[in-house]
Chains A and B, each alone.
Chain A
Amino acid sequence: MSAVGTLKSWEAMMLALLVAIIAFNSVGSPYFLSVGNFVNLFQLSIEKSIVALTMALVIIGGEIDLSVASVMGLAACVMAWTFHAGVPMPAAILAALGAGILAGLNNAFWIARVGLPSLAVTLAGLIGYRGVARILLEDRAIGGFPDWFNTIGQQALIGPLTAAIAIFFVLFIFFAIVLHGSAFGRLVYVVGSNAQAARYSGVRVGLVKAALFVGSAFVAALAGILYAARLGSVRGDMAEGFELDVITAVLLGGVSIFGGKGNLVGVGLALLVILNLRNGMGLADITGNTQNYVIGGLLILSVLIPNMWQELTNKWRGRET
């Protein structure tokens, strides 16, 4: 089976899983099939969904960004801190986005320039950016943001959709075009498949990687601001641990952890699978650890099945020749 074929079958499997979950949920709970519930289902994890888009690009590019959740927390804390210091809200938001870009440039410098592995650099980022966030806010919670800001996070703006949900769909289309329809997108796949070969054929690998990490951190900062708007107040531990949920969604979406493989449609489907699964379990009054078991199990399967498939086809071919 060709690589393209495997991908197609992967998405078909995700789609089948999604349909099964939705069918199961609709039978299981009378509250599942309502506009309000679907909005909630997206809204409750919308920041993670947004970050998953850029995470997909980073992983396809052969790297990983573990610092996204800390950048979310950092951006929210920078925003709250500057606002609390008397700076008008729009300027505080710009400061937060600026902090995100700085964090991204820092990651990019060590990875693309110095050549350190992204796993180590962004792990340091995960700890370091969280540290800055906690130092800024100490043990306080800062709230009392302007009403318009809370409205962005909490109220329906476009039909039943909140701003964050609308932003997710816009970004989804944007990154789908970038990844699948632009020269940069093709470079991401090339670098992710074989960075060495790409370098020898004249691709500016460092630049591609730098763009990925700055983009990732910028989008994470945006997501952090949206999270602050949804909750109406900020504290130092905001979004802690989110990076694992984000990476889970991307891998479940069929993106190879080794880079070079995967697409945004798969990631979109995986997000829908996870969100519907969580929501259905929530409405069935299943919470906490049990939810984690189920989603963890799903991830293990998502890694196992393609590898086992590969092994089986290899054996088959071995017998033929």
Chain B
Amino acid sequence: MTKFLMGAAALVGLAALPQCALAQDAMATPGKAVSMVLLPKFLGILPFDQAHKGAEEAAKELQNPTPLQFLGPTPQNSVAGQIEIVTNATTQGAKAIMISNNSGDQIVPAAKAAQAKGIKVVTWDSPIPSSEGEDVFVAQVDFSDIGKVMADMTLNLTGPGGGKFAILSASPDAANQNAWIAAMKTALKDPKYAKLDLVDTVYGNDESEKSYTQAQALVDKYPDLKVIMSPTSVGIVAAAKALQDEKLCDKVKISGLGLPSEMLAYTKNGCAPEFALWSFIDLGYLTYYTSYLLATDALKAEEGAKFKAGRMGEYTITKDPTRAKGLRILMGPFTIYNKDNVEAAAK
């Protein structure tokens, strides 16, 4: 009986072999026990819960018997908390840690220590600025595209006459938001946007209350402000609420990156007629797939490596144009939401 089984296994193995050799893309072998940690910037906001949902979907598809750990710090303790979670995951011998980095390069020593133990460190949503201690970054959309989209939306809202606008960002050291703001500043050099005047950039630290007061402060400080651009899902909602409460939505418009379900009311009442985002569910799914492939040695984090990520199709690891030494996987695409499509997306 045992011999028969072994023989059968060998046959199956032989049958599978040519397929592997023919396939160009790295394919995942489902069912391997890989302990993986999904670490958002902090717990308690919808985009990260959606990413978690996407990662769970991939985990189910890949039949990983080890449950996915979704661990995050509180917003007030984000840096020390992220470092603590990475260090504890290293102690526990996790195989892959997936980080939406909120700690700038301060996460580097902990991430390097994890790598030294053979753990794959994959960043998503927000990378490690120096890319040290990171295997690959799963980027939601091309950062320079975000800059252009934000500039376009601003111009749409001010009208061809242009005018003053301000940026309400997350924390001052959030690598993704900073890269997008930089991309927007680059895009603004195009003569097309010559009449747009960026007057200020303020930080709400991705806390609702602080973002709300920062938005209020902006409209007080600049009476002729036309648009507040907030490239964070927390900031954009808080700013829209602030303007609605101050009854200023006729004068000042909100735009940026937001979740349809949270923005629905403000898009319909005209406070935030237009905003953009990508799917965080897909981002979580792709991140999990990538990390599983890396942790099972089916994929190497090097330039040019191709792989297939389940329902999302084929991806290639490339150099990251926004960071000197980083590698990235580009997810895309972007969706622009307005009163025509926001309702369907909010469901």
Contact = CB atoms under 8 A, between A and B. Distances in A.
Contacts of A237: 79, 171-173
A230 B85 CA distance: 16
A139 B91 contact: no
B74 A289 contact: yes
Interface stretch (B102-110, B206-214, B322-330): B102-110
B87 A241 contact: no
Contacts of B93: 31
A154 B91 contact: no
Contacts of B332: none
Interface stretch (A57-65, A211-219, A277-285, A300-308): A277-285
Interface in B146-177: 171-173
A125 to B, nearest CB: 20
A194 interface: no
Interface string B312-339: 0000000000000000000000000000
B43 A233 contact: no
Interface in B53-103: 69, 71-74, 76-77, 79-81, 83-85, 87-88, 91-93
A143 B203 CA distance: 22
Best-buried of B69, B72, B79 by chain A (most CB within 10 Å): B79
B292 interface: no
A36 B117 CA distance: 12
Contacts of A282: 84-85, 88
Contacts of A143: 105, 130
A285 B92 CA distance: 10
Contacts, number: 82
B143 interface: no
A304 B258 CA distance: 45
Interface string B35-62: 0000000110000000000000000000
Contact of B73 (A29, A44, A138, A287): A287
Nearest to A235: B173
A167 to B, nearest CB: 18
A31 B76 CA distance: 28
B71 A287 contact: yes
A40 B113 CA distance: 11
A235 B73 contact: no
A241 B76 contact: yes
